[in-house]
Amino acid sequence: MKKAVALVAVLALALTAFVAVGLAIQGATPDSSPAAEPTPSPTTPPPATVTEAPSAELADLYSQRIDWQPCESDDDHDCGFLTVPVDYADPQGETIDLSLLRVPAQGQRVGSLVVNPGGPGARGTTYAAAGGQVFREPLLDGFDIVGFDPRGVGDSAPVDCFSDSELDAYLAGDPTPDTAEELAGYRSAVLSFGEKCVAGSGPVVGHVTTIEAARDMDVLRSALGEDRLSYFGASYGTELGATYAELFPDKVGRFVLDGAVDVSLDAKSLALEQAAGFETALRAYVQNCLDTTDNCFLGDTVEEGLATITDLLDSIEEQPLPAGDRELTIGNAFYGVITPLYNRDYWFLLSTALASALDGKGSALMSLADAYASRNPDGSYADNSVEANYSINCLDDPTSVPFAKVPSLFPEFEEASPTFGRVFAWGMAGCRGVDVTSSEEPLTIRGEGAAPIVVLGTSRDPATPLKWAHALSAQLDSGVLVERDGDGHTAYNAGNECIDTIVEDYLLDGDVPADGTSC
């Protein structure tokens, strides 16, 4: 997800997020740290194939190899590190290590498939480790699935902005302030976020752009011994992949960009279209309740169902609900409602949580909100995804609306999403506390000269509307559009055999689908 709601720092993951949601509802703690320190091993892997570096100053980094070792937490997977410069303008200056995780091919190996789940801020190591749920058997058989924590994320020189208690308070805050007191608290939270990120993170906080992460991917390609990069990116991972294609078009191998982001849109347009996407998904959820139950607990029509949800959120804003030893605030409730909209298979969790909240109990919605932010039951956070999401988005595009001008956006945003519009409108002020600037010049992304890039979109995707896939496939010189008619975020491995076969035949055999294919 882009920074349409950067104020509340929403994290858009692929399937791994939904696995975490299910675990959290049941009170379990998801294991999100598979890329622990590798255990020593006497085995020395062969050196990687050395490919030509973009400059002589980068030659040593491009010639490095990955010392894969069994992961400490799971010896079925391999862990390693990749060294990259903090600043590519000073390639022989300070460096950082990126955390890597590899799931070795289970059958006849085709090569390495680098994967990214989006966010920004989501851990690629966790995504790869969950490969058995994310990818189907053909890809697991043919590829080493390689995930990396992008710079500033997870175990890769992570940005650090808030203590756990401060992050709790931030996420619980009212995302739609409508009193002077609420606005003062909102303003303070926004302005302190960027300040605390700079204070807690060091120089890397100014070098966590998508462009720099894409440059890291080319160093990774070389270290893997691949002449061309094969890549699967979901959600924001599509923007990362498209950026790579612009920077290194001759190194693009087989690319799948699933749940595409329209990289040409300005911040306001992104926010408006994403707000509309979540409204569409919520309406689909309510319609499903009406279609699949004799007496939907939300009401007798879609409009009644939406009104029930809106009234519930309004009541929680006035009076938070008990949630164990905590209180479910309107900020938490917002996360709890949008989380299961990412995947139709988890709509039942939303129904359970809403029914419970209507009965005055907030624990189920709180569990969904906690899973969304990677909060563990003990109050710690499994990763820094919220902080990384904010830092990367606001460095990529620091566009921000002054607090006093946000109310003027309400009519437009409420037309796009009567339920969530004001949250997205206030999110337009989310980067006002950022004092660092990117050292990278913005790109116009075309990817001219790249091999065919398959771009996937889903008709009722809440986070990345289908129109974004249309736009990105047209912007990319070699873009090939494939559509899935369905619900939920991203298209692959979502129960559509047509989509799954197209993706697997393309990645494994190079069979390029016809542009505009619909499944």
Give the C-alpha separation, 394 to 396, whole Å: 5
DSSP string, 246-283: HH-GGGEEEEEEES---TT--HHHHHHHHHHHHHHHHH
Give the C-alpha separation, 437 to 6, whole Å: 17
Based on the residue annotation, tell me whether 207 is a catalytic residue of this protein: no
Give the C-alpha separation, 111 to 116, whole Å: 17
Written as one letter, the residue type at 225 is G
Give the C-alpha separation, 363 to 117, whole Å: 28
pLDDT of residue 368: 97
Reported as type and span, the H/E element at residue 112 is: strand 111-116
The one catalytic residue among 32, 201, 235, 391: 235
pLDDT of residue 13: 36
pLDDT of residue 36: 32
The one catalytic residue among 77, 207, 470, 489: 489
pLDDT of residue 51: 62
Q: Is 71 helix (H, G, I), strand (E, B) or coil?
A: coil
pLDDT of residue 56: 84
- The residues pairing with 481 across neighbouring beta strands, listed in sequence order, are 455
The one catalytic residue among 160, 258, 461, 487: 461
Give the C-alpha separation, 415 to 13, whole Å: 27
pLDDT of residue 76: 87
pTM, full prediction: 0.89
* Opening angle at CA 190, ends 242 and 393, nearest 5: 5
**pLDDT per position as a tens digit, 38-48:** 333 322 333 44
CATH number for the region 46-158+206-265+441-518 comes to 3.40.50.1820
Give the C-alpha separation, 471 to 481, whole Å: 9
pLDDT of residue 366: 97
Q: What is the DSSP letter of 519?
A: -
Mean pLDDT score across all residues of the chain: 89
**pLDDT per position as a tens digit, 261-289:** 999 999 999 999 999 999 999 999 999 99
What residue has token string 């700079």? 198
How far the first Cα of the chain sits from its last, in Å, is 24
pLDDT of residue 62: 95
Q: What percent of the chain has pLDDT over 90?
A: 84
pLDDT < 50 positions in the chain: 1-50
**pLDDT per position as a tens digit, 110-143:** 999 999 999 999 999 999 999 999 999 999 999 9
Based on the residue annotation, tell me whether 235 is a catalytic residue of this protein: yes
- The residues pairing with 456 across neighbouring beta strands, listed in sequence order, are 258, 482
81-106 exposure pattern, b = at least 16 Cβ within 10 A, e = fewer: bbebbbbbeebeeeebebbbbbbebb
Beta carbons within 8 Å of 4's beta carbon, 6+ residues apart: 267, 270, 271, 274, 275, 424, 427
Domain ranges of the chain: 46-158+206-265+441-518
Give the C-alpha separation, 202 to 159, whole Å: 8
pLDDT of residue 138: 97
